[in-house]
């Protein structure tokens, strides 16, 4: 009896070992890719060399910044008549003088310790260009945002917007990306976003390296896109959900100049389906 069972066991045992080995071979490239993606992401995060201060300078020339700061200095000095003369007809009115006085009351009397350009926007229209410039003033323990929009129409410059907004701390401190003091749900979204984009990228690499029946290129867009979106403002913790949304690489992270980060994650449906399909192909190949 033993002599009859040995050949049977001899046929089954290698197949079991090969099936287990195939499972390991199917998963090992993915986890190597996943770990490599984590390391690459960490390196890129540390090597980001594009300064926001340098970028914002491209939207407002030194002359335009000097013009905007000149108007702010007039407000600080209480020279409201000169500001009213420079105001565009679109904002000029009987209450402009009182509005300027209220704005000036928000500005500390002492000289600022630092002035920093934190925002600039440029708008073009037929025959006119508007530059919206925002400065951050530091008065020690007090901070202030001063925003001036200046329109240049055929060489004539007028003020089309003016705003003063006290803040409790600098924008850099307020919107700095930090892992300290966040809610558990924010950490969950961040972890899900990192995992989703790495799963997507690794699936794309494995798809390119795997022999597949049929047209392989049809898998690429399906893998690259995530569906639905959950986004969270990293500074305020405010949530937004978009169930009918398509997200490239299943995750994103965006921050306007000196603004808060928004982290978003989508479900990597295509990537997950491909990984399951690829594993089934490898197992079926090993068993055949």
In 10 A of CB 157, how many CB atoms? 16
The pLDDT value recorded for residue 38 is 52
Same domain, 34 and 128: no
pLDDT tens profile 7-26:
444 444 445 445 455 454 44
For the beta sheet containing 239-248, the strands, ordered from the edge strand earlier in sequence to the opposite edge, are 239-248, 225-233, 262-267, 251-254
Same domain, 253 and 161: no
Q: How far apart are CA 226 and CA 250, in angstroms?
A: 4
Half-sphere exposure of 175 (CA within 13 A, CB side): 16
Long-range contact pairs involving 166-173 (C-beta distance under 8 Å, separation at least 24): 166/106, 166/142, 167/143, 168/143, 169/143, 170/136, 170/138, 170/143, 171/118, 171/136, 171/145, 171/258, 171/259, 172/258
In 10 A of CB 225, how many CB atoms? 18
- Residue 277: is its pLDDT beyond 80? yes
Structural domain includes residue 8? no
Structural domain includes residue 5? no
Whole-number average pLDDT of the chain: 84
What residues make up the domain containing 132?
52-173
Pick from 136, 154, 173: which residue ends a domain?
173
Same domain, 160 and 246: no
Indicate the number of domains in the chain: 2
- Residue 260: is its pLDDT beyond 70? yes
Pick from 158, 173, 188: which residue ends a domain?
173
Same domain, 63 and 166: yes
Mean pLDDT over 225-250 rounds to 94
pLDDT tens profile 154-181:
889 999 999 999 999 999 888 888 899 9
In 10 A of CB 115, how many CB atoms? 16
Among the listed residues 255, 219, 280, the one whose alpha carbon sits nearest the alpha carbon of residue 48: 255
pLDDT tens profile 114-152:
999 999 999 998 889 999 999 999 999 899 999 999 999
pTM, rounded to two decimals: 0.68
Find the CATH number of the domain harbouring 119: 3.10.450
Structural domain includes residue 1? no
Same domain, 216 and 266: yes
Structural domain includes residue 2? no
- Residue 49: is its pLDDT beyond 50? no
Structural domain includes residue 135? yes
């Amino acid at each position: 009896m033993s002599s009859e069972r040995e050949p049977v066991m001899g046929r089954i045992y290698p197949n079991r070992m090969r099936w287990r080995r195939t499972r390991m071979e199917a998963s090992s490239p993915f986890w190597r890719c996943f770990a490599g993606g984590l390391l690459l992401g960490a390196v890129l995060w540390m090597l980001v060399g594009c300064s926001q201060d340098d970028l914002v300078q491209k939207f407002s020339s030194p002359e335009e910044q000097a013009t905007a700061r000149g108007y702010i200095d007039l407000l600080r000095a209480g020279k409201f008549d000169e500001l009213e003369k420079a105001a565009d007809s679109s904002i000029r009115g009987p209450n402009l003088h009182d509005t300027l006085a209220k704005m000036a009351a928000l500005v500390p009397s002492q000289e600022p310790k630092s002035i920093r350009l934190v925002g600039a926007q440029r708008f073009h229209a037929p025959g006119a260009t508007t530059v919206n410039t925002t400065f951050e003033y530091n008065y020690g323990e007090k901070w202030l945002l001063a925003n001036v929009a200046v329109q240049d129409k055929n060489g004539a410059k007028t003020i089309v917007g003016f705003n003063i907004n006290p803040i409790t701390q600098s924008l850099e401190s307020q919107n700095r990306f930090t892992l300290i003091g966040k809610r558990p749900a924010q950490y969950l979204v961040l972890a899900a976003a990192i995992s989703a984009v790495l799963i997507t990228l690794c699936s794309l690499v494995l798809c390119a390296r795997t022999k597949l029946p049929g047209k392989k290129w049809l898998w690429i867009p399906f893998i690259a896109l995530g569906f639905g979106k959950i986004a969270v403002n990293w500074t305020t913790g405010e949530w937004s959900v978009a169930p009918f949304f398509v997200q490239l690489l299943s995750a994103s992270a965006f921050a306007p100049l000196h603004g808060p980060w928004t982290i978003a994650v989508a479900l990597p449906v295509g990537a997950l389906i491909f990984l399951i399909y690829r594993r089934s192909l490898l197992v079926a190949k090993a068993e055949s």
